[in-house]
Amino acid sequence: MAPPCAIDPSPEVTAITDTAAVTLPDFLAAPIQSNEIGKRRRKAREGQWGIAAPSDTRDFRFRNYEGKPKAKRWDHYFSHEARVRKGNRLKGAAKFLTSKPGIISLGGGLPSSEYFPFEEVSIKVPARGKFSEAETKESGVVITAGKHDLANMKSTYDIATAFNYGQGSGSAQLLRWVTEHTEFVHSPPYQDWQCTLTIGSTSGWDMTLRMMTRPGDCILAEEYTFSAAVETALPLGVRMVGVPIDSDGLIPEAMDDILTNWDVNERGARKPHLLYTIPTGQNPTGATISGPRRRELYNVCQKHDIFIVEDEPYFFLQMQPYTGPNAPDVPPPVNHNEFLKTLVPSFLSMDTDGRVLRMDSFSKVMAPGSRIGWITASEQFIHKYQQYADVSTQNPSGISQLVLFKLLDEHWGHDGYLDWLIHMRMEYTKRRDVILGACEKHLPRSIVSWNPPMAGMFHWMKVDFKQHPDYPQKSIETIEEEIFMRVIDHGALVMRGSWFYASEEDAHDTLFFRATYGAAKADQIEEAVRRFGVAIREEFGLDKEMDEKVNGLITPEG
Amino acid sequence: MAPPCAIDPSPEVTAITDTAAVTLPDFLAAPIQSNEIGKRRRKAREGQWGIAAPSDTRDFRFRNYEGKPKAKRWDHYFSHEARVRKGNRLKGAAKFLTSKPGIISLGGGLPSSEYFPFEEVSIKVPARGKFSEAETKESGVVITAGKHDLANMKSTYDIATAFNYGQGSGSAQLLRWVTEHTEFVHSPPYQDWQCTLTIGSTSGWDMTLRMMTRPGDCILAEEYTFSAAVETALPLGVRMVGVPIDSDGLIPEAMDDILTNWDVNERGARKPHLLYTIPTGQNPTGATISGPRRRELYNVCQKHDIFIVEDEPYFFLQMQPYTGPNAPDVPPPVNHNEFLKTLVPSFLSMDTDGRVLRMDSFSKVMAPGSRIGWITASEQFIHKYQQYADVSTQNPSGISQLVLFKLLDEHWGHDGYLDWLIHMRMEYTKRRDVILGACEKHLPRSIVSWNPPMAGMFHWMKVDFKQHPDYPQKSIETIEEEIFMRVIDHGALVMRGSWFYASEEDAHDTLFFRATYGAAKADQIEEAVRRFGVAIREEFGLDKEMDEKVNGLITPEG
């Protein structure tokens, strides 16, 4: 496959040192000086690369924030545990090590790297622009981390460092990379934003709930939302209140209504102070909130003092416009600048108040097994998050961090990663088009309807349950259950919409199924959709042939 | 260096399939049939190796538990959140995939491994018996995991599986290994014990507290204990009550006293129901509780219905007996059987009630950066732990899991790992002897006293503060602070004993410093101890020469 956009994929950069010029995304050429990141990097403090060394994400930002507003204070929302938690005392003692040159530490209980039974770690990864599995087999590049590369001046990161203990922030090495990436993609418009690594967004959400809510709270979310996010909250005594959505996601007026008319007695909870949203390629609905609507939602959050958690694993699975089964495909973005322009603006990018906590993840664009994500939020939150991590999750796996650092920072660099993301965009576009084509071919439009997803990995299909022969004798949930089991009988698995209710207590009068096009191969996706169609037809007592004629899919010849 | 015991290090096993005979630790030859683990492995279900496939640790145990007691019920100790938490619904849906052959899943939102930009992962590791860094450089073996080794029948584990999502239990592949290891080392004497992977014991402890305590609780611990364990508990409203210790650790009678005389009103908390202990090479005291004393403590726990959390990162840092500066070293264990016999019995090994939750860790014997540990406890707890992990920490990094699996299961095997542990034992013994020798040489025995640590990485030094010229005008803490800062002035860092108080509220009349011999090189350890000694002498106004004469360290000639 040709590289998705016009870059030179030839230089196989296997080690970028801090003093080397850093290859820059071409989009950066215009707005800021051409090697702004490189300049910032050259000022890096040596000390932060060491074992469990503290680092500060502010040191990795390359823009000037003078004159920008500072985040509002969020103390009134922090939970008791977040307020009283102090730092990890032993990790804090590391500061004495920098106070005296030549000091010998018998302090921290860190084992010697002498006893890590790992001399080298190598990964074979795609060369820039040659991203497919077949190309990687053919032309993949092997990059290697040695045990003492840092001491030997071969790299800023190595096994001796990455495989030892670390800080709750994650290593300076990878934290720098995600901070730079966040800054040039989102350019947060306030002064004191920071990043911290997480062990994945599921944990990030659990920790956020424990820091920002208390038992009995209600929080807002899309009325259909990621079920694990609900399951994380419920045992903490935190209920979700579903905000009505349409095909473009959260409806600002509906959210404003809920908040304006919140009745503490009736609801049995204080007015919500937190919105959990998956704004892009939402799980399960696939909906993406447009830029203008995000701004309206942000305004509603300002009006009601709502803290926004934007959970964005699918942000870079935004796809090409859908042109239908018979129209030509839209060509890929011509360069990084164009690519970044196609992306819907994040809540973070419009966050002048520091009220947004953004959760990013490598799970959908690199590998879920890395268990690495990151959070961007105001310093107040990040500091408390790191204190929490230091006595709980610690840092993400150092093995994972080293592997991602070698690939993202030293091998691909920022612009190689943008190429990869464009590759992912084109691949997911193909997959999305496969499932939509299959749905158009195999599903009875009189019963099943959908909107083409513009981002993410989920296709959300509405079933007109009122046409079911057993309605209204049977409830929505019973009809859903019966369809679900019949689909399984026919050899396909799709997820039941009711599993994604933000609140099971509310009444629901819609019936959906969620199908993902992210995993199965194209012919399997088509076959599974066909099986789903057969099950639907059987359930609704439809004559397949008649229906296909109605849909114009059976030509006069056959 | 020669291999530490008589094994044949030559076969460089790079892939053990499930059907191959598994090399067995020699100690197993006597008590059970010679390839009991291998037999058990041959019965393994294929399905459990797949992506995010559920597994059951009971399938990996090789002994027969018929007739053994079942764990007592612990429902009365589970917290509200642990009681109400349900499983992750979407992960639960995986069960439908096994219900129908040929079913196609559009269900789970798992990305295709096609988009993991990793074709191979290789690690260079020590060959069995050639464990030092120098030997590994020379004779280390490179082992490689491919992307599709599972589909290609090359291994039971690969990148496509490990780098995708997983279950809260961790992967079947590594879970099997830790279960087998746990069974042959501890042989838990009740029926329904299980294991689950953790993302490290710090998180394991945080999660345990949230599942087994409620705000306002008091729990028991050694009166000096791991400060991060206290710092994890305090924000949850859980206070530690220090149980008196002597040089052999927790004193059973003292614990019984506290519990027998617990006054709810005076203490402002219900009677403790949980003991947190680091029984082996305790942090910070270095103390190891003997087998007989563990049994007495277990009896006290039975009497008062105490749930025991045994945090055991240093279990395999048990060292050779200390023979003093001029006696010959004790030779290493002659075989695995002898080695395992030298180990103090764990609480788990005497746990007929299922009241022990054991936390094991790879941090001190492999690498902390792996962020992998495991818990062994009764099925009741393990099940709830996994449900929690599924909506929070998820599984440990798959990259870490794959790396450990390739080394521990496929390359070293169980007996190679025992060789490694014997190597660690001998290395830590050398280090311990270095610090003890340095202390004998450089510290004024009239002021500083200690017991030789038998396990772990910490040396705990008692300072007779009553001899300080400013005592009693200055408090213990002030004297400690002044010594601490003077030691730093002289260029060494040791940890202050007061940082390890289980409860800061209690009065303390002892003054200690903790030094670790796990990290610095031998000459640095000696120099740091010398600096510590100088600082102590200055603080206490001692004449160095006089004191060394008293200690007989200055020979007539010098």
Residue range B137-194, pLDDT digits in tens: 999 999 999 999 999 999 999 999 999 999 999 999 999 999 999 999 999 999 999 9
Residue ranges of chain A that CATH labels 3.40.640.10: 177-390
Q: Do A371 and B397 touch (CB under 8 A)?
A: yes
Q: Do B109 and A420 touch (CB under 8 A)?
A: no
Residues written for chain A: 558
| DSSP character at residue A115 | G
Given CB atoms, is A66 within the 8 Å cutoff of chain B? no
Q: CATH code for A177-390?
A: 3.40.640.10
Q: Please spell the DSSP secondary structure of B285-296, one letter per residue.
A: T-----HHHHHH
pLDDT in tens, B301-321: 999 999 999 999 999 999 999
Q: Any idea which of A423-427, B79-83, B90-94 has the lowest mean pLDDT?
A: B90-94
Name every residue whose Cβ is closer than 8 Å to that of residue B49 and which is 6 or more positions away in sequence: B150, B156, B157, B161, B172, B173
3-state secondary structure of B534: helix
- Stretch 378-397 of chain A: residues touching chain B, C-beta under 8 Å: 390-397
Burial of A180 (0-12, 13-18, 19+ CB in 10 A): buried
CA neighbor of B348 nearest in space, from B376, B317, B320: B376
Name the token pair of A527. Answer: 């076959």
User: Distance between CA atoms of B505 and B319, rounded to whole angstroms?
Assistant: 35
- Residue B61, min C-alpha distance to chain A (Å): 26
3-state secondary structure of B85: coil
User: Distance between CA atoms of A511 and A448, rounded to whole angstroms?
Assistant: 10
User: Distance between CA atoms of A163 and B215, rounded to whole angstroms?
Assistant: 35
Half-sphere exposure of B202 (CA within 13 A, CB side): 24
User: Distance between CA atoms of A334 and A328, rounded to whole angstroms?
Assistant: 17
In this complex, which of B231, B370, B395 lies closest to A88 when CB atoms are compared? B231
- Cα B58 versus chain centre, distance: 22
pLDDT in tens, B316-375: 999 999 988 778 889 999 999 899 999 999 999 999 999 999 999 999 999 999 999 999
Could you tell me the pLDDT band of residue B38, with boundaries at 50, 70 and 90? confident
3-state helix, strand, coil in chain B (%, to 5): 40, 15, 45
Could you tell me the pLDDT band of residue B3, with boundaries at 50, 70 and 90? very low
Given CB atoms, is A371 within the 8 Å cutoff of chain B? yes
Name the token pair of B243. Answer: 């149980």
User: Distance between CA atoms of B471 and A519, rounded to whole angstroms?
Assistant: 71
| DSSP character at residue A236 | G
Residue ranges of chain A that CATH labels 3.90.1150.10: 428-550
Residue ranges of chain B that CATH labels 3.90.1150.10: 426-550
pLDDT of residue A361: 97
Sign of CA dihedral B526, B531, B532, B536: positive
pLDDT at residue B110 is higher than 60: yes
Residue pLDDT tens, chain A, 558 long: 333 333 333 333 333 334 333 444 544 444 444 468 888 888 888 889 999 999 999 999 999 999 999 999 999 999 999 999 998 888 778 788 877 889 999 998 899 999 999 999 999 999 999 999 999 999 999 999 999 999 999 999 999 999 999 999 999 999 999 999 999 999 999 999 999 999 999 999 999 999 999 999 999 999 999 999 999 999 999 999 999 999 999 999 999 999 999 999 999 999 999 999 999 999 999 999 999 999 999 999 999 999 999 999 999 999 999 988 778 889 999 999 899 999 999 999 999 999 999 999 999 999 999 999 999 999 999 999 999 999 999 999 999 999 999 999 999 999 899 999 999 999 999 999 999 999 999 999 999 999 999 999 999 999 999 999 999 999 999 999 999 999 999 999 999 999 999 999 888 999 999 999 999 999 999 999 999 999 999 999 997 555 555 555 544 443
pLDDT at residue B209 is higher than 60: yes
Q: What percent of chain B has pLDDT over 70?
A: 91
- Residue B347, min C-alpha distance to chain A (Å): 24
Q: Do B85 and A234 touch (CB under 8 A)?
A: yes
pLDDT of residue B22: 42
Residue A292: asked if its preceding bond is cis (omega within 30°), the reply is no
The pLDDT of B230-239, averaged and rounded, is 98
- Residue B303, min C-alpha distance to chain A (Å): 31
Q: Do A106 and B494 touch (CB under 8 A)?
A: yes
Given CB atoms, is A499 within the 8 Å cutoff of chain B? yes
Contact B361, B313 (CB under 8 A): yes
Q: What are the chain B neighbours of A283 within 8 Å (beta carbons)? A: 109
Q: Which of A98, A106, A481 to mutate to test the interface with B (most CBs of B within 10 A)?
A: A106
Cα distances from B16 to residues B12, B148, B157, B228, in angstroms, run 11, 16, 11, 39
pLDDT of residue A329: 86
pLDDT of residue A25: 52
Sign of CA dihedral A465, A469, A472, A475: negative
* Strand partners for B194: B377
The pairing of beta strand A356-361 with beta strand A307-311: parallel
Cα distances from A358 to residues A278, A310, A374, in angstroms, run 10, 5, 8
Q: Which residue would you say has higher pLDDT here, B400 or A91?
A: B400
Given CB atoms, is A238 within the 8 Å cutoff of chain B? no
User: Distance between CA atoms of B452 and B439, rounded to whole angstroms?
Assistant: 10
pLDDT of residue A544: 57
pLDDT of residue A247: 95
Given CB atoms, is B136 within the 8 Å cutoff of chain A? yes
The backbone torsions φ and ψ at residue A131, rounded to the nearest 5 degrees and listed phi first, read -95, -15
Name the token pair of B294. Answer: 């563990």
* Strand partners for A81: none
User: Distance between CA atoms of B460 and B510, rounded to whole angstroms?
Assistant: 12
Name the token pair of B383. Answer: 């099940």
Task: Select the CATH number that applies to the domain covering A428-550 from these four: 3.30.450.20, 3.40.50.300, 3.90.1150.10, 3.40.50.10190.
Answer: 3.90.1150.10
pLDDT of residue B23: 45
Half-sphere exposure of A89 (CA within 13 A, CB side): 15
CA neighbor of A437 nearest in space, from A529, A340, A367: A529
- Residue B243, min C-alpha distance to chain A (Å): 22
The pairing of beta strand A104-105 with beta strand A356-361: unpaired
In this complex, which of A88, A102, A518 lies closest to B112 when CB atoms are compared? A518
In the block, which residue shows the tokens 């995010």? Answer: B52
Sign of CA dihedral B216, B220, B222, B228: negative
- Angle at CA A144, nearest 5°, toward B519 and B424? 30
The torsion of the CA quartet A523, A528, A530, A534, rounded to 10 degrees, works out to 160
Given CB atoms, is A199 within the 8 Å cutoff of chain B? yes
CA neighbor of B420 nearest in space, from B36, B22, B136: B136
Q: What are the chain B neighbours of A97 within 8 Å (beta carbons)? A: 493
Could you tell me the pLDDT band of residue B130, with boundaries at 50, 70 and 90? very high
Name the token pair of B546. Answer: 């006089």
Name the token pair of B126. Answer: 């020590």
3-state secondary structure of B393: coil
pLDDT in tens, A424-467: 999 999 999 999 999 999 999 999 999 999 999 999 999 999 99
The backbone torsions φ and ψ at residue B85, rounded to the nearest 5 degrees and listed phi first, read -65, 135
pLDDT at residue B281 is higher than 70: yes
Q: What are the chain B neighbours of A364 within 8 Å (beta carbons)? A: 111
- Angle at CA B468, nearest 5°, toward B463 and B474? 105
Contact A236, B391 (CB under 8 A): no
C-alpha Rg value of chain A to the nearest Å:
25
C-alpha Rg value of chain B to the nearest Å:
25
The pairing of beta strand B458-463 with beta strand B193-198: unpaired
Q: What are the chain B neighbours of A106 within 8 Å (beta carbons)? A: 435, 492-494, 515-517, 519-520, 525, 528-529, 532
In this complex, which of A89, A120, A142 lies closest to B499 when CB atoms are compared? A89
- Stretch 308-347 of chain A: residues touching chain B, C-beta under 8 Å: none
In the block, which residue shows the tokens 């280390």? Answer: B140
Given CB atoms, is A370 within the 8 Å cutoff of chain B? yes
Sign of CA dihedral B477, B483, B487, B492: negative
Q: Do B519 and A112 touch (CB under 8 A)?
A: yes
Residues written for chain B: 558
Name every residue whose Cβ is closer than 8 Å to that of residue A21 and which is 6 or more positions away in sequence: A35, A38
Q: Please spell the DSSP secondary structure of B6-65, one letter per residue.
A: S-----------TTSPPP--GGGTTTS-TTHHHHHHHT--GGGGSTT----GGGG--S--
Question: Architecture of domain B426-550 in CATH?
Answer: Alpha-Beta Complex (3.90)
Burial of A11 (0-12, 13-18, 19+ CB in 10 A): exposed
Q: Which helix (H) or strand (E) holds A447?
A: none
Looking at B218-321, which runs of residues are DSSP E strands? Answer: 218-222, 239-243, 245-246, 249-250, 274-277, 307-311
- Residue A558, min C-alpha distance to chain B (Å): 28
pLDDT of residue B35: 66
Residue B472: asked if its preceding bond is cis (omega within 30°), the reply is yes
Q: What are the chain A neighbours of B407 within 8 Å (beta carbons)? A: 117-118
